[in-house]
Amino acid sequence: MMTTEVTLRKSLSLYQVVYMGLAWMTPMIYFSIYGIAYENAGGMLTQAYLLAFVAIFFTAYSYGVMSKTFPTSGSAYSYTAKGIHPYLGFLVGWALLLDYFFSPIIACLTFGIYLHAQFPAVPAAVWIIGLNLALGIINVIGIKFSANLSKIFVWIQILFIALFCFFLGRGLSGGGDIHVFQPLLQTDVPFGTILAGASIICFSFLGFDTVTTMAEETVNAQRTIPRAIMIIIISASVMYLVPSFLTQLVYPHLSFVNADSAGFELVKLVGGAGLSAIFITVLIMAIFTQGLSSVTSVSRLLFVMGRDAILPKQVFGYLHPKFNTPVFNIAIVSAVSLLALAISLDSAVKFVNFGALTAFFFVNVSVIAQKYVKEGRRSASQTLKYLVLPLLGAGFIGYLLSLLDRDALWMGGVWVALGIAYHLLRTRRAAGAAPARSPQTGSPRAVKS
């Protein structure tokens, strides 16, 4: 009796993929990191965002190249394994798990923090467990449902940012001595300070890469995924640059009571109590959609690693016959996300940064290895596309990696060491389980006891 193999269902359109990527990136993160970014950039956020866009653009380009070459759902894991070497691909995938595993933890943790602050009588743990269950159930139902829900909540975030800009525009119409190009022409702040701000701001762009994990569920993935990546990067840049530019015009000099809550203070300054009340509601929606997209991404990465037998195939490579979703992986992610009940937000963010930047670095290198070295594409234009641009991307990301603090590098190093130990153990077990083979025929032969 023949059995039909259950596979991921191709159902996502270009804009559904874009909404999933923007949901992971979370446009409202502009406000979440506003105070930290403002202090590190010396107030020159417009210039810092421009530099951050340039830094991330090269890596986004490399992701686009590799997604065309290998339209699979393994993201940096698959690109590095196929472009450079399978063992290095495993290590990159293992590091990327930090980014993808800890992203839903951050979503659950921040969801609990904000809602507990709004409703002190309800413990944060209740919100964390409730969100975890909701994210798991929605992801089991199917990725198309997740994409449609993400679309609604992403548009709510976009509309809020537009409303915020409208209030800023009213401040401009009030008159006063305003120089339109002041945010770009400011030279009092040293370039090194602006660059330091850009290194923080780069983390606002993390998430565009997650759409590559949806390649096998995307219609015409070789064309759709690269286009989606660029649309996400450009859309995010507009949503970050416009409010930062207008804010610098209206409020050239700002100070905050608390850098962590500076975004809320800014919204209240610009739009009063009414806008700040809307802000909290939209921010909670943004956290929900970020968690939804995060669970989708990590469950797909685990599925590909399971299908490739890098992780136990019976568990991680399984798809539900009705929903065509990796239900075991979703359950595992939901269980791991309960760490939000015990871990600090600072530690979770450090894990995410190490995993994401490591993956970004090797995707840039994989373009060079696959296109420039293996395929020998070395004409003048191809040298620019497959050597110079990826080298620039790797250089920018390598610099950002060097800025991570000692704790982040130490925790990331321990995680990679665990991955190496796991790989060695798995390899030895596989070698021990393999039947002995005849040197002449290559067929299994009996082994004397």
Q: Residue 28's domain is classified under what CATH number? A: 1.20.1740.10
- The dihedral over CA atoms of 60, 66, 72, 77, expressed in degrees to the nearest 10, equals -80
Q: Are 367 and 60 in contact (CB under 8 A)?
A: no
> Interior CA angle at 413 toward 411 and 414, to 5°?
65
- Residue-by-residue pLDDT tens, the chain, 449 positions: 444 556 667 878 898 899 988 988 889 989 888 888 888 888 889 998 998 898 889 999 999 999 999 988 778 889 999 999 999 999 998 998 888 888 888 888 888 887 887 788 999 999 999 999 999 998 888 777 777 888 899 999 999 999 999 999 887 766 556 666 666 666 678 888 888 788 778 878 887 888 888 888 888 988 999 999 999 999 999 999 999 999 988 888 888 887 777 888 899 999 998 998 899 899 888 988 888 888 988 898 899 889 888 888 999 999 888 888 899 999 999 999 999 998 877 777 777 878 888 999 999 999 999 999 999 999 999 999 999 999 999 998 898 888 777 888 898 899 999 999 998 988 888 777 655 444 444 444 444 43
The total number of structural domains that make up the chain = 1
Is residue 121 in some structural domain? yes
Is residue 422 in some structural domain? no
> Interior CA angle at 239 toward 364 and 57, to 5°?
15
What's the rounded Cα separation, in Å, for the pair 147 and 7?
19
Q: Are 26 and 286 in contact (CB under 8 A)?
A: yes
Q: Are 92 and 112 in contact (CB under 8 A)?
A: no
The boundaries of the domain holding residue 28 are: 14-404
Is residue 2 in some structural domain? no
Is residue 307 in some structural domain? yes
Global model pTM greater than 0.85? no
Is residue 8 in some structural domain? no
Is residue 421 in some structural domain? no
Is residue 425 in some structural domain? no
Is residue 432 in some structural domain? no
